[in-house]
Structures are given as C-alpha cells and as structure tokens.
C-alpha cells in the first residue's frame, strides 16, 4: 500500500493543507480529506503512514454517530457515491478518507478534556502543582488519574507552532460566559461518554481535544473526533502511573526521531519501514478496538 501524501482534485478549489488534512471548497460545503501524512514535533515528516487517513476518518465517523444524541456535527456524507458529480473522477483518491461537511463558524479555541495527568499537563504540574492554572493535590504521578476531569482549553495555533493552554476565564473573555460554559459542558459530556466506551473496550481515554463551531447559530462538533491523533488512548491493563504509558498513537515515530537526535528543524526526516509498520499497526488496533469492526478499504 502506498501512502497518500497529497491530494489533487483538479479544478476543485483548494483552501489549504494542514498537517494531515487537505481542505477543499465544494459549493456551499467543504471537503475534508485525511491524507496519510504524519507530523511530529510540529513538523510533517517525509514519510507517510499508508492508510492512516482512512483510519482517522472512519474513527471520526464512528464517534460522530455515537455522540449524535449529545451534540450535532457538521457531517453531510462520507459516501463518495453521494458527493457532487464533479468529484466522481477522484473517487479512488477520496474513498474511505474524506467527508463532505457543512461550513461552520469555528471557535478560536481547542476544547481539551483531561482525565489523567500526561503531556503538557504533567509538565505544568511538576512546575507548580497546577494544570491550566487549576490547582491539583500533591502526590500525583505522570499518568495519574485526576481527581476530576478537567476542561483545559487552548488557543488554536495558526502558524504551526504549539497551541497554548489558557484558563477558562480567557475563553469567557473571548466568547462570553454563556458560550464558554456550553463548550465546557459539551466537552466534558462527550469525554465522559467516550471514556466509558473506551473503558468497555479495555482502553483508557487519558485526554482529548475537540473543535466546535456554530452552524445556523447552533454549537456543532467539527473536524476530527477522538482519533489517536487528537487523543491519548492507553492500554487499561498496562496502566501504571509513574511514567509514560503505552499509547495508541505515533509514539514509535517520536521515539525514533529522538533516537536519531533530529534537531526538530525542517526538513523533517523520513521513517524506516519498521517504524511505519509498527505505527500503522497501533492505529489499526485502536480502530478495531474502538469500533469493533475492520477498516473499510
């Protein structure tokens, strides 16, 4: 299988290419295409992970359906056969990895839910016993379950740099108290339902981030949802606070890049076949465990 690193949809208007997704304008709608690109340390690598875009898209579709009773989403259809006729010549490029979605007025914050201490949250805790300014008790370890699930929003970086954690008060100033409160409520409600589902499949949802916007004035869930790219899933049976946990994401990629002492500056290196294969296997296992089915080709 060959990795799809860049889409080409002819005269279809390309709005931009993110680290993973290519975004097109299709009439009044948008087309989100998840490529097989993979990023690490804020750089897109020279090597992709074949099929990764299909895994991300189909995991998101699974969650959109599961969360439909909690929050509306922006999906119109993910069936290529239902796409506009102008996209039919590109069906093989798009099948399984694309979504036709409604345009939303996106909020300028990422809505993060943390149930466990990890990543940037752990670093902040070590420095001052807080996460996003929220005080936490002494004695927690890297990987500890938090006393309660935290809503820790972040600013959305426009230039590829790191997103910055911000306090809820900052979201209130940006969006108003009512909207900020509703984003917090939805984030925690979606996390709770997703964490319970993950637990039933032997997985821990340590943390995750969501993007919301408004469509016709209604807060709507958008972009990708609860994928290994946007979330930390851990093997519940192996969970042991006190260090990094085995996770279903691109940890093999990060470990390899650290091992070759890459300076984390462009151009980003490629990946050896074994790192690609092990990373793909982790993404596939996450898909199968979460959805209970095989990936659609």
> What are 105-156's pLDDT values in tens digits?
999 999 999 999 998 899 999 999 999 889 999 999 999 999 999 999 998 7
Residue 97 sits in the same domain as residue 115 = no
Q: Dihedral of the CA atoms 4, 87, 283, 151 (nearest 10)? A: 120
User: Residues of the chain with pLDDT > 70: what percent?
Assistant: 98
pTM of the model: 0.94
Report whether pLDDT(182) > 60.
yes
Residue 65 sits in the same domain as residue 124 = no
Question: Distance between CA 209 and CA 221 in Å, rounded?
Answer: 11
Question: Distance between CA 212 and CA 98 in Å, rounded?
Answer: 19
User: Residues of the chain with pLDDT > 90: what percent?
Assistant: 89
Residues of the domain holding 206: 105-238
Q: End-to-end distance of the chain based on CA atoms, in angstroms?
A: 11
Question: Distance between CA 253 and CA 284 in Å, rounded?
Answer: 15
Report whether pLDDT(158) > 90.
no
- Give the total number of structural domains in the chain: 2
Report whether pLDDT(74) > 60.
yes
pLDDT band at 164 (very low <50, low <70, confident <90, very high): confident
pLDDT band at 219 (very low <50, low <70, confident <90, very high): very high
217, two tokens: 């004035």
Report whether pLDDT(160) > 70.
no
Query: Among 53, 74, 103, where does a domain finish?
Result: 103
Is 125 domain-assigned? yes
Question: Distance between CA 147 and CA 26 in Å, rounded?
Answer: 45
Residue 168 sits in the same domain as residue 182 = yes
Residues near 158 by Cβ (< 8 Å), separated by ≥ 6? none
Is 246 domain-assigned? no
pLDDT of residue 296: 81
pLDDT of residue 249: 87
- Tell me if 105 sits within 8 A of 218, measured CB to CB: no
pLDDT of residue 161: 54
- Tell me if 242 sits within 8 A of 228, measured CB to CB: no
Which of 244, 258, 249 has the alpha carbon at shortest distance from 281? Answer: 249
Q: Would you mind telling me the total number of residues written for the chain in this entry?
A: 297
Instruction: Kindly report the average pLDDT of the chain as a whole number.
Output: 95
Report whether pLDDT(270) > 70.
yes
Residue 84 sits in the same domain as residue 161 = no
pLDDT of residue 48: 96
Residue 148 sits in the same domain as residue 29 = no
Residue 96 sits in the same domain as residue 129 = no
Alpha carbon separation from 247 to 91, 138, 233, 237 (Å, rounded): 33, 25, 6, 12
């Amino acid at each position: 299988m060959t990795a799809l690193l860049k889409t080409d949809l002819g005269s279809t208007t390309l709005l931009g290419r993110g680290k993973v997704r290519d975004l097109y304008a299709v009439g009044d709608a948008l087309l989100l295409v998840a490529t097989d690109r993979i990023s690490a340390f804020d750089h897109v690598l020279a090597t992709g992970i074949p099929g990764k875009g299909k895994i991300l898209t189909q995991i998101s579709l699974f969650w959109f359906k599961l969360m439909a009773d909690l929050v509306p989403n922006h999906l119109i259809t993910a069936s290529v056969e239902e796409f506009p006729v102008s996209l039919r010549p590109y069906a093989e490029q798009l099948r399984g990895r694309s979504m036709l979605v409604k345009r939303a007025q996106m909020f300028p914050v990422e809505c993060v839910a943390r149930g466990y201490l990890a990543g940037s949250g752990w670093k902040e805790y070590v420095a001052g016993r807080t996460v996003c300014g929220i005080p936490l008790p002494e004695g927690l370890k890297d990987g500890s379950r938090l006393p309660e699930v935290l809503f820790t929003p972040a600013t959305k970086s426009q230039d590829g740099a790191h997103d910055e954690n911000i306090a809820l008060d900052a979201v209130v100033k940006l969006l108003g108290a009512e909207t900020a409160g509703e984003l917090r409520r939805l984030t925690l409600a979606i996390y709770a339902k997703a964490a319970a589902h993950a637990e039933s499949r032997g997985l821990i949802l340590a943390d995750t981030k969501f993007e919301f916007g408004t469509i016709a004035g209604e807060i709507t869930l958008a972009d990708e949802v609860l994928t290994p790219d946007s979330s930390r899933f851990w093997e519940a049976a192996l969970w042991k606070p006190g260090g990094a946990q085995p996770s279903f994401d691109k940890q093999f990629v990060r470990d390899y890049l650290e091992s070759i002492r890459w300076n984390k500056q462009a151009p980003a290196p490629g990946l050896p076949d074994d790192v690609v294969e092990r990373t793909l296997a982790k993404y596939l296992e996450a898909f199968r465990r979460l959805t209970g089915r095989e990936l659609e080709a």
